[in-house]
Structure 1
Amino acid sequence: MLASLEGLDHVVVMVHDLDAAARNWAALGFTLSPRGTHSAHLGTGNYTIMFGDDYVELLGILHETDLNAPSRAFLERRGEGIERVAFTTSDAATGVAALHARGIEVSGPIEFSRPVDLPDGGHGEAAFSVFNWSPDDRPADTRIFACQHHTRATVWIPSLQTHANTATGIARVELVAASPADASAELARLIDGEARRADDGWRVATAPERGDFLFLDRDAFVARHPAARADQLPDEGAVALVLRVRDLDAAARAVGEAAAAGAGTVSVPAARANGVMLVFEKA
């Protein structure tokens, strides 16, 4: 993988009603950050679910802007769910230069920040540098970008990293694609990675202890997750998030009636998690 990329950073879940989504994920045993508000030109707000090195971001539209048009289009086209995935970058400017040298179109880096309400009642700031791959480069219809964190202490707050369901991190993102081989090869090209054949699909690893990408066709996804229905899956898209947990029994208790036990897993149907199938597996 590109030297300035350090693995999967976070997964962005687009939602219609941000506060309702936060209540929904809290009911599944997650600890959520206080609500954040991005700048006026972004027009979005968020809640984050923090793990050791990565996180899930619930993102909602607060008001329409040019910059959130792709996210609004996603909600109109697919409804709620995983709209894009971020990679951690140690140096956004270096990453942009390296990708341009490879003939890969990216934009940025863009510097931005947002105010942070801290759990102890204090206030801080979260600051980032971000670059985006071309919106035309969407492996399995999933946008990708890279994020350099300048203020990790106001994002990775220890009290926000403990969850009743015992989740500790992202194991993988599962995507359906008409051609898993082609979609995985496209992602590998964009991040200077490698696509490898898996038993039932194609896998792109990011970094040790960071999440992988697993590309499957619809039939393989349903075979892997019998509770899923092929007719409810998009033609292309990121559809499942597999999370590592310390204790599967605790995860099942935290999730409650939404839990479905599998072979060494506990899963939550997409209808209960804002368009994302959640799968918990032992860390």
Structure 2
Amino acid sequence: MSLQYVIGIDHAVVMVGDLDAAAANWQRLGFTLSPRGTHSPALGSGNYTIMFGQDYIELLGILAPTEHNAPSRAFLAERGDGIERIAFTTTDAAKGADELRDLGLDAVGPIDFGRPVPLPGGGEGEARFSVFQWPLQEAPAGLRIFACQHHTRDTVWIPELQRHANGATGLVRVIVTAPRPESDARHLLRLIDGEQFSEPDGSVVVPSGSDRAEFAFVARDVLAQHYPGVALDGVPERGGAGLIIAVNDLAASEQAIGAAGVKIGDRLVVPPRAANGVLLVFVAR
């Protein structure tokens, strides 16, 4: 990818209708969650994070309706729980937004904000970020994208929060369903000035940058062929569908996840109905 200030996927945003119930659900799947965070009144949202080595998953819920969270509320009303957005890491939000403008894209931001962080051992810190967004209408396969600069990594990447009973260590791939994978992949390529490659089944893979997780655009019926016997209820025809997650030991993952997991060859799969609308695939790396 030729964008200088955007270096790959930072985190996946899973929008949920009941934030605390979702947190309890992901804990049952063997993930360690941060204490609940509360964003500013203008944002009107709260979150839990699931931290890995260099990326993470964010469970995001609406605490109060605001103008800012109107798109997220619309997402929940139309689809219910699921992957709503993907964040990229930016090393400089202001310069990253300018790069988008150089590509002819009307970047939103950068916007600076912060939130209190309850620390696992007691006390409170602060997490501060600067973000910019691609235009709202520029959402490949309906998946919104933005970029996040972390100013206080020590209050977000806390070592004890990166240890998970299921052995998860990081994101490998974001699965995006699309009736026309090539078309939506090209849309993303235009937004990040990147490259793509096709797979034999018609899926199209778009690297996100450096050694970070990649995107895979795939037709829903092809996705069903990848995971036979796994119910895909909740997976949209077009949108963020799933996450492939690296683990240290698949047998340990299977034990931690329990009955929610389905073993398919060298993969452990959790159907969307058990993970707030997200297909989870665990692979040993």
- Shorter-chain TM range is over 0.9
Distance (whole Å) between structure 2 residues aligned to residue 147 and residue 80 of structure 1: 22
Offset of residue 17 of structure 1: 0.6
| Structure 2 unpaired stretches of 5+ | none
Query: Who is 2:242 aligned against?
Result: 240
Aligned to 2:116: 115
Question: 1:52 touches 1:169 (CA, 8 Å); kept in 2?
Answer: yes
Q: How does 1:192-231 map to 2 (within 5 A)?
A: 192-200=193-201, 201-229=203-231
* Structure 1 residue 209, shift from structure 2 partner: 2.8
Q: Which residue of 2 aligns with 1:146?
A: 147
Amino acid at match of 1:186: H
Aligned-pair identity (%): 55
Task: Say if 2:91 is the partner of 1:78.
Answer: no
Question: Tell me, what secondary structure is at the counterpart of 1:160?
Answer: helix
Give the CA deviation at 1:220.
1.1
Residue 274, structure 1, aligned to residue 284, structure 2: no
Runs in 1 of length 4+ with deviation above 3 angstroms? Answer: 227-233
Post-superposition Cα deviations, 1:13-50, rounded to whole Å, max 9, x if no partner, equal 00011110000000000000000000000000000000
Retained in 2: the 8 A contact 1:222–1:230? Answer: yes
- Output the CA distance in 1 between the equivalents of 2:234 and 2:90: 34
Aligned residues: 283
Kept in 2, the 8 Å contact 1:135–1:143? The answer is yes
TM-score normalised to structure 1 length = 0.98
3-state SS of paired residue (1:24): helix
What is aligned with 2:251?
249
Q: Which amino acid aligns with 1:246?
A: N
- Find the aligned partners of 1:90 and 1:261 in 2 and give their Cα distance: 38
Between the aligned partners of 1:111 and 1:78, the Cα distance in structure 2 is: 29
Quote the residue 2:63 is aligned against.
Answer: 62
CA distance in 1, matches of 2:160, 2:138: 37
CA deviations 1:210-243 (Å, max 9, x no partner) are 1000000112111112234567532210111100
* 1-structure distance, mates of 2:98, 2:277: 35
**Shift in Å, 1:104:** 1.3
- Structure 2 distance, partners of 1:73, 1:115, is 27
Matching residue's letter, 1:222:
A
| Structure 2 residue 79 is matched with structure 1 residue 49 | no
1:35 aligned residue: 36
Deviation readout 1:34-86 (Å, 9 max, x if unpaired)? 00000000000000000000000000000100000000000011110000000
**Contact kept in structure 2, 1:241 and 1:278, CA below 8 Å:** yes
Q: Is the 8 A contact 2:111 2:132 kept in 1?
A: yes
Other structure's SS at 1:243 match: strand
CA RMSD of superposed structures (Å): 1.1
Retained in 1: the 8 A contact 2:176–2:217?
yes
| Deviations 1:98-146, CA, capped at 9 Å, x for gaps | 1101101210000000000001102100000000111101101100000
- Do the aligned residues in 2 keep the contact of 1:219 with 1:230 (CA within 8 Å)? no
Separation of aligned partners in 2, 1:259 and 1:13: 19
- Is the deviation greater in 221-230 or in 138-147? 221-230
Structure 1 equivalent of residue 167 of structure 2: 166
Q: State the one-letter code of the partner of 2:84.
A: E
- Residue aligning to 1:24: 25
Distance 2:163 2:244 in 1: 17
Give the Cα–Cα distance (whole angstroms) in 1 for the partners of residues 229 and 186 of structure 2: 28
The letter for the 1-side match of 2:34 is S
Structure 2 counterpart of 1:281, which letter? Answer: V
